[in-house]
Structures are given as structure tokens and as C-alpha cells.
Amino acid sequence: MHQILGQSRTELSANAPTMIVMKIDHNKIRDFIGKGRATIRAICE
């Protein structure tokens, strides 16, 4: 791979995958998950 690229790219493509990290207060987990995990399913979809 180093032979093809030579060095790291300085900019990301608009199509590059991204990752989001959220920290939720331990006492608020139930509110985030929602009834029957509906909130989590909606985020995943």
C-alpha cells in the first residue's frame, strides 16, 4: 500500500465513512434506549 500511495492523504473524501462517539450519563441510558429499543433501531436505520 505504501508503494501505491506514498504518503497519507491530508483531506478526507466526502464519501469516506465517519464514526460518531457519544457519551451518555449512566443514569440516562434508559431514556436514550427508549421503549422496546425503538430509539436505537431508528438511529441504526
| pLDDT, tens only, 4-15 | 878 888 888 899
pLDDT in tens, 1-45: 778 878 888 888 899 998 899 888 888 877 777 776 777 778 777
User: 15: how many CB neighbours lie within 10 A of its CB?
Assistant: 5
- Dihedral, CA of residue 1, residue 21, residue 18 and residue 40, to nearest 10: 130
Whether the full predicted model's pTM is greater than 0.75, yes or no, is no
Q: State the pLDDT at residue 15.
A: 93
Domain ranges of the chain: 16-45
What is the per-residue DSSP string for 1-42?
-HHHH-S--SS--TTS---------GGGHHHHH-GGGHHHHH
Could you tell me which of 40, 3, 2, 38 has the C-alpha nearest to residue 22? Answer: 40
